């Protein structure tokens, strides 16, 4: 039997042609294209098309995809009514997981070998997930969700639906670049979860719902919320070193640092930092950015030798805050982007499916005999 590797670290669990990470040199590519090029020149919908169908679209293919997504942005009033019953203080990731799963009730056909069904499911999920995130945002404030606007791009429309204002074009472009940076990242926990679920040949809504649940944890997508909380706790630049000393001494993790795949600074963090600076130049400085930069510098000497550097979550929260996005929507926004990657993996998994069924090393008891309840001492078996 092969050696047990906790967390399957370094164990290949699939073959994939979607995304490649060179963690030593900090290089990330989607279908062979460096993520920097995509963040600078592509759009989130074009990148989604690339990830799912494997090639950049022609102008006509992209126009058709954008049109289909635009046509499917609205969600049924029955889903909106269901969301009105969710507790207003519930986490938006839980609301998203429930509402994503509910799509399966409305579109439950399981013809997984029908390319048209695959295409429709892709379009519906890419189109409706942002609308559901925005709907819960307004519903929990006691308002009715606002309808998507057909004259706005994918990203501008999402910002409009949550802030109720048409965003500045530069803000919408930066948000779109953030979605590109979060769209895919090989076999991370939520994508693995999506592939395991996909391998049972269940419907794509269940695939996305299981991945949303996995993304919600603080060691995965939830870290970007925690980064801002940590920066707020530190409060000012002069308190950075003391905070870091204490965290290292107490073996606490610095949120937004470290990555299983990278031994250098996450290339997405490099781009997000540039985007943050662009935003601050235009819309005003956030002094927490100075705290973050000082923490990065101080952490380099303390943690750099172990290969622990800022990851994608370190600067994304600062960008989202400047865009006026509430903190607990950061992870749902990660999900909006990552749906593209999950669906690419869903489609790839269906193309060469074998149900996931790893083995285990049993470490429990053996040879026990069941006893009638009145003859048992506490917790004991014979
Ligand atoms: N701050 C301080 N030390 C860290 C650290 C961090 N953020 N991340 C890892 N380390 C240290 C661990 O304490 C451990 O040290 P040790 O060997 O001396 O005990 C070593 O690095 C390996 O850590 P481990 O948790 O085993 O690495 P991993 O590959 O399993 O974990 C993460 C990867 C992302 C889960 C981990 O880095 C982490 O929890 N980061 C903070 C949360 C976060 O930002 N998540 C978003 C990921 S995109």
Q: What are phi and psi of 30, to 5 degrees?
A: -110, 120
Please state, in angstroms and rounded to a whole number, the distance separating the CA atoms of residues 264 and 261.
9
Q: Pick the residue whose CA is nearest to atom 36 on ligand 1.
A: 258
Q: How far apart are CA 359 and CA 77, in angstroms?
A: 44
Task: Decide which of 1.10.3720.10, 3.40.190.10, 1.10.230.10, 3.40.50.2300 is the CATH code for 223-322.
Answer: 1.10.230.10
pLDDT for 283: 95
Q: Is 259 a catalytic residue?
A: yes
Token digits for 320?
């989202």
Give the predicted TM-score (pTM) of the model.
Answer: 0.94
Separation of alpha carbons 316 and 42, rounded Å: 19
* pLDDT tens across the length of the chain (382 residues): 788 999 999 899 999 999 999 999 999 999 999 999 999 999 999 999 999 999 999 999 999 999 999 999 999 999 999 999 999 999 999 999 999 999 999 987 778 999 999 999 999 999 999 999 999 999 999 999 999 999 999 999 999 999 999 999 999 999 999 999 999 999 999 999 999 999 999 999 999 999 999 999 888 888 888 999 999 999 999 999 999 999 999 999 999 999 989 999 999 999 999 999 999 999 999 999 999 999 999 999 999 999 999 999 999 999 999 999 999 999 999 999 999 999 999 999 999 999 999 999 999 999 999 999 999 987 655 4
Say which of 176, 203, 226, 313 is annotated catalytic. 313
DSSP string over 29-54:
EETTEEHHHHHHH--HHHHHHHHHHS
Give whole-number Cα distances, 280 to 114, 191, 236, in Å: 47, 33, 18
**Residue ranges matching CATH 1.10.580.10 in the chain:** 13-216+328-351
Two structure tokens written together for 45: 């919908």
For the stretch 237-254, what's the b/e string if a residue is b when 16 or more beta carbons lie within 10 angstroms of its beta carbon? Answer: beebeebbeebeeeeeeb
Q: Is-contact 23 263, C-beta < 8 A?
A: yes
Q: How far apart, in Å, are the Cα atoms of 235 and each of 228, 263, 310, 338?
A: 10, 28, 19, 31
Instruction: Pinpoint the residues of the chain covered by CATH 1.10.230.10.
Output: 223-322
Ligand 1 centroid distance, CA of 339 (Å): 25
Coil, helix or strand at residue 365: coil
Atom of ligand 1 nearest to the CA of 227: 44
Burial grade of 309 (CB within 10 A; 0-12, 13-18, 19 or more): buried
CA distance 340 to 203: 16
CATH fold label, 13-216+328-351: Citrate Synthase; domain 1 (1.10.580)
Q: What is the pLDDT of residue 222?
A: 80
Among this protein's residues, is 114 annotated catalytic?
A: no
Output the CA 208–ligand 1 centroid distance in Å: 26
Query: Ligand 1, atom 28: nearest CA belongs to which residue?
Result: 260
Edge to edge, the sheet with strand 33-34 lists: 19-22, 27-30, 33-34
Determine the length of the chain.
382
Torsion of CA 191, 265, 5, 20, to 10 degrees: 50
Query: Rounded to 5 degrees, what angle do the CA atoms 272, 44, 59 make?
Result: 135
């Amino acid at each position: 039997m092969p050696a047990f590797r906790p967390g399957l670290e370094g164990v290949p669990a699939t073959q994939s042609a979607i995304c490649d990470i060179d963690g030593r040199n900090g290089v990330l590519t989607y279908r062979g294209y460096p993520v920097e090029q995509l963040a600078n020149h592509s759009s989130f919908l074009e990148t989604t098309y690339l990830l799912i169908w494997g090639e950049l679209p022609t102008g006509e293919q992209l126009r058709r995809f954008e049109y289909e997504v635009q046509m499917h942005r609205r969600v049924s009033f029955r889903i909106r009514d269901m969301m009105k019953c969710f507790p207003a203080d519930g986490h938006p990731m839980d609301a998203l997981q429930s509402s994503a799963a509910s799509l399966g009730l409305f579109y439950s056909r399981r013809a997984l070998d029908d390319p048209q069904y695959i295409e429709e499911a892709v379009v519906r999920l890419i189109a409706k997930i942002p609308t559901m995130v925005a709907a819960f945002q307004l519903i929990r404030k006691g308002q009715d969700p606002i309808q998507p606007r057909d004259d706005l791009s994918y990203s501008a429309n999402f910002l409009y639906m949550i802030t109720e204002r048409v965003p500045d074009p530069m803000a919408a472009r930066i948000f779109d670049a953030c979605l590109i940076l979060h769209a895919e990242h090989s076999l991370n926990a939520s994508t693995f979860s999506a592939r395991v679920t996909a391998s049972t040949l269940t419907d794509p809504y269940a695939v996305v719902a299981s991945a949303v649940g996995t993304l919600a944890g603080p060691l995965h997508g939830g870290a970007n919320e925690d980064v801002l909380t940590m920066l707020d706790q530190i409060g000012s630049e002069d308190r950075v070193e003391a905070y870091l000393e204490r965290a290292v001494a107490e073996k606490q993790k610095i949120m937004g640092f470290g990555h299983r795949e990278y031994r250098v600074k996450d290339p997405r963090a490099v781009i997000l930092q540039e985007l943050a600076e662009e935003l601050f130049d235009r819309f005003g400085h956030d002094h927490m950015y100075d705290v973050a930069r000082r923490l990065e510098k101080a952490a380099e000497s303390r943690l750099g030798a172990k290969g622990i550097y800022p990851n994608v979550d370190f600067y994304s929260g600062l960008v989202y805050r400047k865009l006026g996005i509430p903190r607990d929507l950061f992870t749902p926004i990660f999900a909006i982007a990552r749906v593209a990657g999950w669906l690419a993996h869903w489609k790839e998994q269906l193309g060469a499916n074998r149900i996931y069924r790893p083995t285990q090393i049993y470490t429990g008891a053996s040879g026990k005999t069941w006893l009638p309840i009145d003859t048992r001492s506490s917790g004991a078996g014979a």
